[in-house]
Amino acid sequence: MYNWELNNWPDFIYNKDVIDEWVLKFSELTGRVSGVFSGMDNTKQQNELIGFMISEAQKTSEIEGEMLSREDLMSSIRNHLALNAKLKNVKDKRAENIVLLMLEVRKNYEERLSEKMLKNWHQMLFKGSKYINAGMYRKGGEPMQIVSGRYGNEKVHYEAPPSSRIPMEMKQFVKWYNAFKTNGNIQNAVIKAAIAHVYFESIHPFEDGNGRIGRALIEKCLAESLNRQIILSISTAMERNKKRYYSELNKASKTLEIDNWLIYFAQLLIQAQQNAIEVIHLSIKKARFFDTYKDMLNARQTKVLKKMFDKGAEDFAGGMTAKKYISITRTTKATATRDLQELVSHNMLIRKGDGRSTHYVLNW
Cα–Cα distance measured from residue 237 to residue 317, given in angstroms and rounded to the nearest whole number = 18
- pLDDT for 180-192, tens place per residue? 999 999 999 999 9
> Do 261 and 354 sit in the same domain of this protein?
no
- What's the rounded mean pLDDT across residues 137-164? 84
Question: How wide is the angle at C-alpha 44 spanned by C-alphas 80 and 294, nearest 5°?
Answer: 110
Percent of the chain with pLDDT over 90: 58
What is the CATH classification number for the domain harbouring 341? 1.10.10.10
> Do 256 and 328 sit in the same domain of this protein?
no
At 213, which amino acid appears?
I
At 281 the pLDDT is 79
> Do 12 and 144 sit in the same domain of this protein?
yes
273 or 282, greater pLDDT: 273
Instruction: Examine the pLDDT at 29 and tell me if it is beyond 70.
Output: yes
What is the CATH classification number for the domain harbouring 184? 1.10.3290.10
> Do 172 and 230 sit in the same domain of this protein?
yes
CA distances from 38 to 34, 44, 185, 222 (A): 6, 10, 22, 19
Residue 292 domain-assigned (yes or no): no
Show which of 249, 281, 313 is a domain's final residue: 281
- What's the rounded mean pLDDT across residues 210-236? 92
Residue 341 domain-assigned (yes or no): yes
Residue 94 domain-assigned (yes or no): yes
Which alpha helices (H) appear in the chain, and where do they start and end? 20-38, 42-63, 70-80, 93-107, 115-125, 166-179, 186-203, 210-226, 234-240, 242-252, 259-293, 299-310, 322-329, 333-345
Please state the φ and ψ torsions of residue 215, each to the nearest 5 degrees. Answer: -75, -35
Residue 288 domain-assigned (yes or no): no
Cα–Cα distance measured from residue 362 to residue 319, given in angstroms and rounded to the nearest whole number = 8
- In which domain, by residue range, is 87 found? 3-281
Closest CA to 132 of 97, 180, 169: 97
Q: Report the number of distinct structural domains present in the chain.
A: 2
> Do 218 and 314 sit in the same domain of this protein?
no
> Do 241 and 344 sit in the same domain of this protein?
no
Helix (H, G, I), strand (E, B) or coil at 311: coil
> Do 107 and 43 sit in the same domain of this protein?
yes
Helix (H, G, I), strand (E, B) or coil at 13: strand
Work out the pLDDT band at 160, boundaries 50, 70, 90: very high
> Do 247 and 320 sit in the same domain of this protein?
no
CA distances from 30 to 103, 183, 186, 237 (A): 21, 17, 10, 15
> Do 207 and 347 sit in the same domain of this protein?
no
Residue 122 domain-assigned (yes or no): yes
Show which of 253, 281, 309 is a domain's final residue: 281
Show which of 281, 308, 341 is a domain's final residue: 281
Cα–Cα distance measured from residue 249 to residue 238, given in angstroms and rounded to the nearest whole number = 11
> Do 185 and 57 sit in the same domain of this protein?
yes
- What's the rounded mean pLDDT across residues 302-316? 72
Instruction: Examine the pLDDT at 325 and tell me if it is beyond 70.
Output: yes
351 or 310, greater pLDDT: 351
> Do 77 and 218 sit in the same domain of this protein?
yes
Question: How wide is the angle at C-alpha 198 spanned by C-alphas 211 and 7, nearest 5°?
Answer: 135
Residue 109 domain-assigned (yes or no): yes
Residue 289 domain-assigned (yes or no): no
Question: How wide is the angle at C-alpha 325 spanned by C-alphas 322 and 331, nearest 5°?
Answer: 100
Closest CA to 105 of 121, 93, 94, 116: 121
- pLDDT for 65-82, tens place per residue? 888 888 899 899 988 888
> Do 204 and 310 sit in the same domain of this protein?
no
Cα–Cα distance measured from residue 251 to residue 135, given in angstroms and rounded to the nearest whole number = 29
At 316 the pLDDT is 56
- Quick one: 331 exposed, middle or buried, by C-beta within 10 A (0-12, 13-18, 19+)? middle
